[in-house]
Amino acid sequence: MIMIKKFTFENKALREKAFAIRHKVFVIGQNCPKDLEYEFEEESTHFLLSEDGVPFATARHRKTEKGFKLERFAVLEAARGKGYGMQILQAILHDLKDEKEVKYMHAQQQVIPFYEKVGFEKVGNLFEEAGIMHYKMKFSRD
The pLDDT value given to residue 113: 95
Containing structural domain, residue 86: 2-102
Q: Is residue 138 part of a domain?
A: no
pLDDT, tens digit, for every residue of 90-122?
999 999 999 999 999 999 999 999 999 999 999
The pLDDT value given to residue 142: 55
Distant-in-sequence, close-in-space partners of 19: CB < 8 Å, separation ≥ 6: 38
Q: How large is the average pLDDT for residues 51-77?
A: 97
Q: Is residue 136 part of a domain?
A: no
CATH of the domain at 44: 3.40.630.30
Q: Is residue 132 part of a domain?
A: no
Residue in 98, 76, 96 with CA at minimum distance from that of residue 85 = 76
Q: What pTM does this model have?
A: 0.94
Q: Is residue 121 part of a domain?
A: no
Q: Is residue 112 part of a domain?
A: no
Q: Is residue 81 part of a domain?
A: yes
Largest CA distance in the chain: 41
How many H helices and E strands in the chain? 4, 7
The CA radius of gyration of the chain, in Å to the nearest whole number, is: 14
Position 50, amino acid: S
**How many domains is the chain partitioned into structurally?**
1
